[in-house]
Amino acid sequence: MKSIIYVEPSEGKVDPNVKKIVARLRKIPAERRGLIKGITLSHNFKNREEELRELFDELVAVEVPEEYLYNTEVMANLLTDLLEADSPALLFLVFSHLGMELAPTAGMRLGVPTVTGCTDFNIEDGTAEVRRLVYGSKLTISLSVDISRGGVFSIQRGSLKETGAAGTAGAVREASLSALPWDKKWAARKSKVLGLVAEEGGIPEQEDITKAPLLVSVGRGVGGPDNIPLIRTLTDCLKGTLSCSRPVVDNNWLPHHHQVGTSGKTVSPTIYLALGISGQGNHVAGMDTSRIIIAVNKDPGAPIFKIAHYGVVDDLFQIVPELIKQTEVGS
Amino acid sequence: MRVAVCCKAVATDVTADSVSVVDGDLRCNVGELYINEFDEYALEAAMALKKTYSAETFAVTVGSLRSQEALYMALAKGIDNVARINGDTSHPELVAGALISFLKEIGPQIILVGVQSEDWMGSEVGPYIAEGLGASLGFAVVEITELNDSQVRVKKEIGGGDKTDVILTLPAVLCVQSGIHQLQYVSALRRRKVRDLPVKMWGKLEDIALPDNIKGIMNYRMKEVAAPEGESQAVMIPGDKSEKAKAILEILKKNLSAG
């Protein structure tokens, strides 16, 4: 049995979560997880072969025509085809948009157990022991998966803490690289991608949340659009940049380019000040590498406090005016 | 044109004491259930298709009697027909298997599903349904831009803030992202009134024959539910609002000036 990882690009690089999955697998004895094989699209990783070859025992780079690069039907076709050739195998993906779509599709086509959004996993004899979040990340559930015929697992971003993806210190690994030419049988039959959608109007430089050292970020707790000016005032006082979680964008309280999380941008500022953000997995995946996270939330059980460095249990409408007042007095 | 919405009633206010694994399935003893927020957006998308294309709309849920809350919300928003498949399970594969059977019978051209449920958080049901029906799949759809007898054109998120413009052949399963339309306010009076309308029970979960690939994907066992491991690592800042604000500003000053 092999452990196969679909290598997804992330802002032009190998997704760091892919490296963490590899690192976790390397901790498991080879007789249980087998060789570690990477599958990628050659287009995504031109000039990054060396980095990839150090990660895996085997590496397959598939040539995909330009027109299919964003077509998930094609990804599903080729991935299930390649998995069948290695069956029984374990497939690991990142729980990204692509992984959310591909994991259940591949699992159902292959008829093998599928667990999505895993936060931890281990492979034992004939089973995989996995853990995943449920109920708005407030609880976890542990599962025992029969992998005798293979399995598909998507891994929640930011959940594995391993570093050193190459595995054993000092080990020199250079995967055999197979370039796999395009096969027409993978072509899309039910979908056609017309192209990427450009963000209307572009993003003002001062609102680029990916480059800001201080993000003042609001969530559903801000209550409504009438309260956004208060947060803007605080952001200006602190000379920060305004960002938000998904519900704020869904309700049109702020434009999409402010959004942090799997549907928005991944950010890594010096300080992330989270105001009224509960800390669901999809948001946390986009900001958990921030150097310092300060969370203000009136719910002491909010999941954001699990990842924050500093926490304030209070109503943001008590704290924000006070921050503004003290900043103005101090300036 | 037929449009079906698969919706789920979920408990949101849970603790480790209110959820447990019983007979290999999750049991939640929180009394009140609400429509899954992502599915409510799917209902809004269905209503938009009803208005624009005169689509006949269906809403279906898999659950016990109390999960009819999701269907009452569907009726209150203006969905034409509702049905419940009786059974209580948190296994997304069983839910998908039951929905596939129902959808095969009514034959919709568009099937709308919320992109994720707030309780299981797995995002599997839509892709399972698409695969089970042999339908095309649009995941994380944020806009339905065109629809005709053979195709639907959508904008879908692909992560990192990017979106693609995609044409899908019908039938299509569209996993709807939150925010696709604004949620319309439904008055308490309207929600009360629809409770008098009949809800069709389409069948029982245990009577539905599952395809082999559904049995294959659920070859796992739920063991236990717990609060997430590890206590908060956060240093909690005590004091009144003035002291808390002062402490936050000190952290900012120290770390931003250090660069």
The more confidently predicted of residues B253 and B161 is: B253
> A175 — contact with chain B (CB < 8 Å)?
no
For the residues A234-251, what does the mean pLDDT come to? 95
Q: What is the pLDDT of residues B18-37, one digit of tens each?
A: 999 999 999 998 878 999 99
Q: Report yes or no: A93 and A8 within 8 Å, Cβ to Cβ.
A: yes
Domain boundaries, chain A: 2-186, 205-330
pLDDT at B231: 58
Q: Decide if A311 and B237 are in contact by the 8 Å CB cutoff.
A: yes
Put simply, whether B228 touches A (Cβ < 8 Å) is: yes
Residue A319: which of A257, A192, A231, A195 has the closest Cα?
A231
Residue B168: list chain A partners with CB under 8 A. Answer: 190-191
Average pLDDT, chain A: 91
B132 to chain A: which residues are within 8 Å by CB?
108
Same fold, A2-186 and A205-330: yes
Q: Give the pLDDT confidence of A126-184 residue by residue, as tens digits.
A: 999 999 999 988 899 999 999 999 999 999 988 898 776 555 444 556 677 888 999 99
* Kind plus residue range of the DSSP H or E element containing A311: strand A310-313
How many beta-carbon pairs below 8 A join chains A and B? 269
pLDDT of residue B106: 97
Is the Cβ of B165 closer than 8 Å to some Cβ of chain A?
A: yes
Percent of chain A whose predicted confidence (pLDDT) is above 70: 95
The type of residue at A193 is V
Chain A CB within 8 Å of residue B30 CB: no
CA distance A176 to chain B (A): 30
Instruction: Report whether pLDDT(A27) > 70.
Output: yes
Q: CB–CB of A102/B126 below 8 Å?
A: no
Instruction: Tell me: pLDDT of A11 over 80.
Output: no
Q: What number is the average pLDDT over the span A19-23?
A: 94
**Residue B80 CB coordination number (10 Å):** 15
* For residue A181, cis peptide bond before it (omega within 30 degrees of 0): no
Confidence of residue B259 (pLDDT cuts 50, 70, 90): low
pLDDT of B232: 67
Q: Tell if the CB–CB gap between B249 and A326 is shorter than 8 Å.
A: yes
Contacts of B41 in chain A (CB under 8 A): 250
Six-digit token string for B233? 């690592």
The domain locations on chain B are: 2-217
Mark yes or no for CB contact B227/A104 under 8 Å.
no
Which residue of chain A has the CA closest to B253?
Answer: A238
**pLDDT tens digits for B78-102?**
999 999 999 999 999 999 999 999 9
- A17-32: average pLDDT: 94
Name the range with the highest mean pLDDT among A47-51, A54-58, A59-63, A109-113.
A109-113
Please name the fold of domain A2-186. Rossmann fold (3.40.50)
Would strands A139-146 and B220-226 be described as parallel, antiparallel, or unpaired? Answer: antiparallel
pLDDT at residue A203 in the model: 74
- Is A45 a residue whose pLDDT tops 80? no
**B67 and chain A: CB distance < 8 Å anywhere?**
no
Beta-carbon separation of A303 and B228 below 8 A? yes
Residues of B in contact with A238 (CB under 8 A): 252
How confident is the model over B193-250, as pLDDT tens digits? 999 999 999 999 999 998 888 989 999 999 999 988 765 678 999 999 999 999 999 9
Architecture of domain A205-330: 3-Layer(aba) Sandwich (3.40)
Strands B34-35, B9-10: pairing is antiparallel
User: Which of A117, A145, A190 is opposite residue B136, by nearest beta carbon?
Assistant: A190
Q: Say yes or no for a CB contact (<8 Å) between B161 and A263.
A: yes
State which fold the B2-217 domain adopts: Rossmann fold (3.40.50)
Residue (of A212, A286, A214) closest to A249 by Cα position: A286
Q: What is the pLDDT of residue A137?
A: 87
Residue of A nearest to B169 (CA): A190
